[in-house]
């Protein structure tokens, strides 16, 4: 942890704060140079995008008669930023706090963290991949210019004893390529290609059989996503972590589409990627879903899952659906964990050492 008491004992913690400040300055500079507008959006909101894999923070807002209104803390600035884009804003970015309840006891998660989120209109996730590369390369070279002793190389850093080169090209690997390579599972092994409905395509019994054969235990309530991710986390991710270059893992199976567009060539996949560097999952990006009807369907599905899992009930952001009805232009967005980015450049293995904690 890094409470004020730890700061008194350990001067490295102050250095981490200085590096953090530099990184944030580089981020601002990168986006300002390209004419992105920096925005600030609400953290306290009456409705949220329902996300069944997250647990929300709920609170009460009082009016002048002390009547209570249920409010939530945002898990990301996505809804507000997209609404601004519908209203007419073009490229924009935000550095803000995000809140995800229950995410304690971890080196890489914490219930309150800093997120960088940006949107680029008239572009797809391919452009976001390029933005991630240029942004990270800029940060590395700015830090090198700032402190040549600590950062002796403009495109090479050492994280947890391993060199990571930011030189292009980075490793691009589709999720199913990686799964095929490291877990010996192809998309056809775990989906029903010719089925009609989403439910039939992503048949739980089909993937469950594959998982059980590999020795995993499968519970009655397990979802396709849970089974897939367990195999992924045990067999694929550890191998991805070993790769020397930053890794862009792209085209996720549709049950993990979240708010991304499905792939035009294969509806079983979504246009979504994640950036991994030094084993840290740093950023998540989509070609944004603009179809409000598909979005409404996903909302319903998420709300049902939240109910089934017994998580805190939320009020879905119908205003967001209204905005999509008006029309979100073709766009791509990225959410990047700023604390993890700071961990990477400070060579820290815990998120609790790159900011003051309570």
Instruction: Provide the binding-site residues for another protein, judged by CB under 8 A.
Output: 51, 53, 100, 102-109, 215, 217, 219, 222-223, 225-226, 229-230, 232-234, 237-238, 252, 256-258, 272, 274, 281, 284
* 140 versus 231: smaller Cβ distance to another protein: 231
Shortest Cβ distance from residue 71 to another protein (Å)? 23
* 143 versus 183: smaller Cβ distance to another protein: 183
Shortest Cβ distance from residue 58 to another protein (Å)? 18
Shortest Cβ distance from residue 60 to another protein (Å)? 26
* 152 versus 313: smaller Cβ distance to another protein: 313
How large is the greatest C-alpha to C-alpha distance in the chain, in angstroms?
63
- Rounded Cα distance, 299 and 295, in Å: 6
Cβ-based neighbour number of residue 182 at 10 Å: 18
Contact assessment for residue 150 and residue 312, using Cβ atoms and an 8 Å cutoff: no
* 26 versus 74: smaller Cβ distance to another protein: 74
* 219 versus 264: smaller Cβ distance to another protein: 219
3-state secondary structure the chain: CCCHHHHHHCCHHHHHHHHHHHHHHHHHHHHHHCCCEECCCCCEECCECCCCCCCCCEEEEECCCCCEEEEEECCCCHHHHHHHHHHCCCCEEEEEEEECCCCCCCCCCCCEEEEEEEEEECCCHHHHHHHHHHHHHHHHHHHHHHCCCCCCCCCEEEECCEEEECCCCCEEEEHHHHHHHHHCCCHHHHCCCCCCCHHHHCCHHHHHHHHHHCCCCCCCCCCHHHHHHHHHHHHHHHHHHHCCCCEEEEEEEHHHCCCECECCCCCCEEEEEEEEECCEEEEEEEEECCCHHHHHHHHHHHHHHHHHCCCCCCCECHHHHHHHHHCCCCEEEEEEEHHHHHHHHHCCCCHHHCCCCC
* 143 versus 354: smaller Cβ distance to another protein: 354
Shortest Cβ distance from residue 259 to another protein (Å)? 9
* 189 versus 281: smaller Cβ distance to another protein: 281
Shortest Cβ distance from residue 39 to another protein (Å)? 23
Shortest Cβ distance from residue 237 to another protein (Å)? 8
* 102 versus 152: smaller Cβ distance to another protein: 102
Shortest Cβ distance from residue 61 to another protein (Å)? 28
For the chain, give the number of residues.
Answer: 358
* 6 versus 103: smaller Cβ distance to another protein: 103
Which of 102, 126, 125 lies closest to 112 in space, CA to CA? 102
Parallel/antiparallel/unpaired status of strands 247-253 and 171-174: parallel
Shortest Cβ distance from residue 105 to another protein (Å)? 5
Shortest Cβ distance from residue 200 to another protein (Å)? 21
């Amino acid at each position: 942890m890094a409470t004020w008491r730890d700061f008194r004992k350990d001067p490295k913690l102050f250095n981490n704060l200085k590096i953090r400040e530099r990184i944030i300055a580089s981020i601002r500079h990168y986006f300002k140079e390209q004419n992105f507008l920096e925005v600030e959006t609400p953290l306290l909101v009456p409705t949220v995008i329902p996300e069944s894999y997250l647990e929300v923070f709920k609170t009460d807002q009082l009016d002048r008669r002390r009547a209570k209104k249920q409010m939530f803390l945002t898990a990301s600035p996505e809804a507000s930023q997209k609404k601004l884009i519908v209203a007419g804003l073009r490229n924009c970015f935000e550095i803000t706090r995000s809140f995800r309840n229950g995410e304690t006891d971890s080196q890489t998660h914490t219930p309150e963290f800093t997120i960088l989120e940006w949107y680029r209109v008239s572009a797809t996730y391919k452009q976001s991949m390029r933005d991630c590369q240029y942004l990270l390369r800029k940060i590395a070279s700015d830090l090198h210019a700032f402190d040549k002793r600590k950062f002796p190389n403009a495109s090479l850093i050492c994280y947890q004893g391993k060199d990571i080169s930011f030189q292009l090209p980075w490793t691009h690997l589709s999720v199913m390529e990686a799964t095929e390579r490291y877990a010996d599972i192809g998309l056809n092994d775990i989906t029903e290609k010719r089925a009609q409905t989403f439910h039939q395509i992503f048949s739980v019994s089909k993937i469950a059989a594959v998982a059980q054969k590999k020795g995993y235990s499968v519970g009655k309530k397990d979802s396709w996503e849970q089974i897939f991710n367990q195999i992924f986390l045990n067999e694929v991710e550890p191998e991805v972590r070993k790769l020397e270059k930053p890794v862009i893992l792209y085209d996720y199976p549709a049950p993990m589409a979240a708010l991304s567009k499905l792939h035009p060539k294969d509806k079983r996949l979504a246009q979504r990627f994640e950036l991994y560097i030094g084993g840290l999952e740093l950023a998540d990006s989509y070609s944004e879903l603009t179809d409000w009807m598909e979005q409404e369907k996903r909302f319903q599905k998420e709300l049902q899952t939240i109910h089934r899992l017994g998580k805190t009930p939320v009020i879905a952001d119908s205003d967001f659906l209204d905005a999509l009805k008006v029309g979100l232009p073709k766009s791509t967005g990225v959410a990047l964990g700023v604390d993890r980015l700071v961990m990477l450049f400070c060579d820290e293995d815990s998120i609790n050492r790159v900011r003051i904690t309570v």
